[in-house]
């Protein structure tokens, strides 16, 4: 790319702001001038707003009336490659550039001048008079190691008043230091020795590091427990040795704690973190230090992809198949795909790691677009679990029970042996439906077309679409009959209740993301379970994501058929991935493991494929079906959702759009709908869907843009476009 342009004082510059505008605005360069990409503060009406000097000004406005840039912010300018990346993502997702800029500047206080602040860390003195409040403060500091907290952040994290922290400072148990608000992250040493690799791992690492310069994407496929992390840590070491930055994307915050420990052991320091669980102080620090090149490595959620890296050499997408990489609101993007795009623009490497790759990545690897590296055996003495089914058609089970006698017997054996068992069901809460036996009404959300899920531990009903909660009623809200409400179906809480009654001598723990008030509490629970502080673990999808429980030797899937229902084209793929992933939690140490699936459909192709372990045959069969249907990865889809407080308005607009679709038919695309969305109402807004299907080579974004430009939508109606949708609710 050409060098960035410098603008002298008074030159016209086009500034992209984070305000909801469809264009850049012209300003005069400030005193001292500014570079292209500079972050600036500019006047917009009576306000001062954040912006980026995007390019030369248009000059189509009276120069005398053009206002000047107020100041250039003391942060690293946005690189041209980042400008190109934001523009390309904008074009692909059909998102306005102002929204893209907001995504790339999601850190507080970027315009604040450098200043000092008081931060708090663990002190040296012991506390003689310990209270529960003081203990919570010290526990937070101990858990987060060398991280610093402001007074407010530490008090909030510990759930105490600031006076408790100040009291500990006086005692010397907490150290108060004056420090610049944003300091570089600890140096990571790539020359420190890593773990001893097995022969298979060493060969994989050598293959990965061959032709490691320039752009390239590698699919690192390895069975659960094969040591994929150690392979890509070697790639990170090579990247750091070249003086470049590395980014590791994880699909779940709960995975960060164990991974950060491994990074610190490998490189002698902790990297920057970027996810919703870090403090605002650390968030701003990470953004600024990444831009200055003073953070060599970032571990984060999908939005970390939009940090202002100066010299990014490697992006790792761990568990690349995970649906958590798809952003479902705001900018609708898939972080896996955008990671490949960003790397291609800056000539960086990408590693996509998974035991069960997405079909998209599998197809790209088979086509030669990605390199393919595979680990077929577990590390050390561990072996893959023995896969079995329990045919529920032959089990005698009461209507209000879900743990079969066969599975119950296997769990008891594990408890007696001092081992752990995991019972998996992909349903949060106590029960998915509360029904009145007097009138048949199912208790639903007042704002959404969704049933409310009982969370008995919280004593609330919750809508999993909008988050609305209300107390569990004793009287039917429809017929007002008392005492006839009944719960239908199991969730993790109800399963835990059943396990406690079946195994009274066992320690039963529930691992579900919505049962923890903070990421810190969730991480603490996972750490406790890994240390063996439970005999029976009841878990949702969260437990399938890369956790290592050394004592876990039995995984029981309560309802293996659950994901096979519905019309989602990815239902079989997701069920296969989830079952293989959760089964892989068993036997990851020196004791062999068993994974058992309770099913009423033992002859279903997906169930048979899981049992056989013939992943290649499964992917080939899926690929044949998708190609025949002309859907991703062999075709293009775009989901259009119209929402309004008036259901007829949304449907009428949808019909008008469907009738006037010439720009789409000109590229051979088909328009399906409008149809009422499967979840017809969310947060009081009625939803109508259209689906656009096109050939893979069709210029679908340009056609969609031309199509939508025909319509002037009423202010009361909202429209969202989802390119490559992952969900169809």
Note if the pTM is more than 0.95: no
d(CA 320, CA 491): 27
Tens digit of pLDDT for each residue in 120-168?
A: 888 888 888 889 999 999 988 888 766 778 888 889 888 999 999 999 9
CATH class of the domain defined by 199-276+297-375: alpha beta
Maximum average pLDDT range among 301-315, 415-429, 622-636, 683-697: 301-315
d(CA 326, CA 328): 6
| Span of 100-104, 150-154, 237-241 with lowest mean pLDDT | 150-154
The pLDDT-based confidence of 67 (bands split at 50, 70, 90) is: very high
pLDDT score at 380: 64
What are the DSSP calls for 314-361, one per residue?
A: EEEEETTT-GGGB--SSS--BHHHHHHHHHHHHT-EEEEEESS--HHH
Tens digit of pLDDT for each residue in 452-490?
A: 787 776 778 888 777 788 888 888 888 888 888 877 777
Mean pLDDT for the stretch of residues 73-100:
95
- Per-domain residue ranges for the chain? 6-81+97-104, 116-180, 199-276+297-375, 386-427+490-622, 430-489, 635-723
Mean pLDDT for the stretch of residues 401-428:
90
Provide, rounded to the nearest whole percent, the portion of the chain with pLDDT above 90.
50
pLDDT score at 546: 64
Architecture of domain 635-723: 2-Layer Sandwich (3.30)
Cis peptide before 633 (omega within 30 of 0): yes
pLDDT score at 579: 83
- Other Cβ atoms less than 10 A from the Cβ of 175: the count is 16
| Span of 147-161, 397-411, 503-517 with lowest mean pLDDT | 503-517
Could you tell me the CA-to-CA distances from 224 to 325, 520, 584, 589, 675 in Å, in that order? Answer: 20, 26, 5, 12, 41
CATH class of the domain defined by 6-81+97-104: alpha beta
Orientation angle between helical segments 162-171 and 132-143, nearest 10 degrees: 80
CATH class of the domain defined by 116-180: mainly alpha
Higher-pLDDT residue of 374 and 474 is: 374
Mean pLDDT for the stretch of residues 89-100:
95
Q: With 90 as the cut, is the pLDDT of residue 205 above it?
A: yes
Residues 520 and 140 sit within 8 Å (Cβ to Cβ): yes
Domain 6-81+97-104 and domain 635-723 have a common topology: no
Helix (H, G, I), strand (E, B) or coil at 466: coil
30: nearest Cα among 61, 6, 4: 6
| Span of 272-281, 297-306, 339-348, 658-667 with lowest mean pLDDT | 272-281
Q: With 80 as the cut, is the pLDDT of residue 399 above it?
A: no
| Span of 100-109, 423-432, 658-667 with lowest mean pLDDT | 423-432
Helix (H, G, I), strand (E, B) or coil at 626: helix
CATH class of the domain defined by 386-427+490-622: alpha beta
Could you tell me the CA-to-CA distances from 373 to 125, 228, 614 in Å, in that order? Answer: 51, 10, 17
Q: With 90 as the cut, is the pLDDT of residue 15 above it?
A: yes
* Greatest Cα-to-Cα distance within the chain, rounded to the nearest angstrom: 86
Strands 245-249 and 297-300: parallel
Higher-pLDDT residue of 204 and 552 is: 204
How long a stretch of residues is the chain?
729
Provide the mean pLDDT of the chain: 88
Strands 245-249 and 469-471: unpaired
Maximum average pLDDT range among 60-64, 75-79, 445-449: 75-79
Higher-pLDDT residue of 539 and 264 is: 264
Cis peptide before 543 (omega within 30 of 0): no
**H or E segment at 37?**
none
Percentage helix, strand, coil, to 5, in the chain?
A: 35, 25, 40
Q: With 80 as the cut, is the pLDDT of residue 89 above it?
A: yes
The pLDDT-based confidence of 572 (bands split at 50, 70, 90) is: confident
């Amino acid at each position: 790319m050409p060098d960035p342009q410098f603008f002298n004082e008074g030159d016209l510059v086009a500034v992209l702001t984070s305000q909801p505008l469809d264009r850049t605005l012209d300003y005069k360069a400030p005193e001292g001038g500014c570079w292209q990409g500079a972050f600036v503060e500019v006047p917009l009406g009576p306000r001062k707003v954040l912006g980026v000097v995007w390019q030369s000004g248009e000059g189509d406005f009276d120069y005398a009336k053009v206002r000047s840039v107020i100041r250039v912010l003391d942060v690293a300018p946005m690189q041209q490659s980042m400008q190109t990346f934001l523009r390309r993502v904008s074009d692909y997702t059909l998102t306005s550039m102002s929204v893209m800029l907001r995504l790339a500047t999601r850190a507080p206080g970027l315009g604040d001048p450098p200043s000092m602040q008081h931060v708090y860390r663990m002190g040296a003195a012991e506390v003689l008079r310990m209270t529960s409040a003081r203990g919570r403060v010290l526990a937070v500091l101990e858990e987060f190691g060398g991280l610093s907290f402001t007074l407010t952040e530490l008090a909030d994290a510990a759930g105490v008043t600031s006076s408790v922290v100040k009291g500990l400072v006086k005692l010397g148990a907490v150290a108060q230091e004056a420090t610049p608000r944003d300091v570089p992250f600890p140096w990571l040493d790539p020359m420190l020795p890593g773990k001893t690799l097995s022969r298979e791992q060493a060969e994989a690492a050598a293959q990965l590091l061959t032709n490691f310069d320039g752009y390239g994407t590698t699919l690192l496929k390895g069975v659960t427990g094969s040591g994929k992390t150690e392979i890509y840590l070697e790639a990170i070491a090579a990247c750091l040795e070249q003086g470049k930055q590395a980014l590791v994307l994880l699909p779940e915050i709960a995975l960060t704690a164990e991974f950060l420990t491994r990074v610190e052991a490998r490189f002698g320091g902790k990297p920057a973190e970027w996810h919703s669980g870090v403090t605002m102080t650390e968030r701003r620090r990470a953004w600024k230090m990444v831009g200055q090149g003073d953070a060599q490595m970032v571990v984060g959620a999908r939005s970390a992809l939009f940090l202002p890296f100066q010299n990014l050499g490697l992006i790792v997408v761990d568990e690349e198949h995970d649906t958590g990489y798809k952003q479902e609101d705001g900018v609708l993007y898939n972080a896996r795909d955008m990671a490949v795009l960003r790397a291609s623009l800056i000539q960086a490497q990408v590693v996509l790691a998974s035991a069960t790759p997405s079909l998209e990545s599998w197809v790209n690897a088979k086509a030669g677009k990605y390199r393919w590296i595979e680990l077929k055996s577990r590390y050390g003495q561990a072996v893959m679990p023995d896969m079995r089914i329990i045919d529920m058609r032959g089990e005698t089970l009461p209507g209000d029970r879900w743990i079969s006698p066969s599975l119950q017997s296997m769990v008891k054996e594990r408890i007696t042996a001092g081992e752990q068992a995991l019972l998996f069901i992909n349903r949060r809460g106590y029960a998915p439906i509360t029904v009145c036996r007097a009138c048949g009404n199912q208790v639903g959300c007042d704002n959404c077309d969704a049933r409310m899920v009982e969370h008995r531990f919280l004593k609330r009903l919750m809508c999993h679409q909008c988050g609305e909660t209300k107390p569990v009623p004793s009287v039917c809200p429809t017929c007002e009959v008392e005492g006839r409400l009944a719960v239908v179906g199991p969730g993790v809480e109800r399963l835990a209740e059943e396990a406690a009654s079946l195994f009274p001598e066992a320690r039963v723990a529930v691992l579900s993301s919505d049962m923890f008030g903070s990421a810190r509490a969730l991480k603490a629970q996972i750490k406790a379970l890994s240390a063996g502080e439970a005999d029976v673990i009841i878990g949702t999808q969260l437990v399938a994501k890369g956790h290592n429980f050394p004592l876990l030797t039995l995984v029981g899937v309560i309802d293996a058929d659950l994901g096979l229902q519905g019309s989602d084209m990815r239902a079989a793929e997701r069920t296969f991935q989830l079952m293989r992933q959760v089964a892989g939690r068993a036997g990851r140490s020196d004791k062999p493991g068993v994974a058992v699936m309770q099913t009423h459909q033992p002859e279903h192709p997906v169930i048979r494929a899981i049992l056989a372990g013939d992943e290649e045959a499964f992917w080939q069969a899926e690929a044949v079906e998708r190609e025949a249907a002309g859907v991703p990865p062999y075709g293009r889809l775009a989901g259009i959702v119209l929402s309004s407080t008036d259901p007829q308005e949304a449907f009428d607009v949808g019909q008008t759009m469907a009738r006037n679709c010439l720009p789409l038919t000109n590229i051979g695309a088909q328009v399906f709908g409008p149809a009422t969305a499967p979840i017809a109402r969310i947060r009081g807004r009625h939803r109508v869907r259209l689906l656009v299907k096109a050939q893979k080579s069709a210029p679908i974004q340009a056609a969609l843009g031309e199509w939508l430009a025909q319509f002037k939508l009423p202010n009361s109606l909202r429209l969202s476009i989802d390119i490559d949708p992952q969900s169809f609710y």
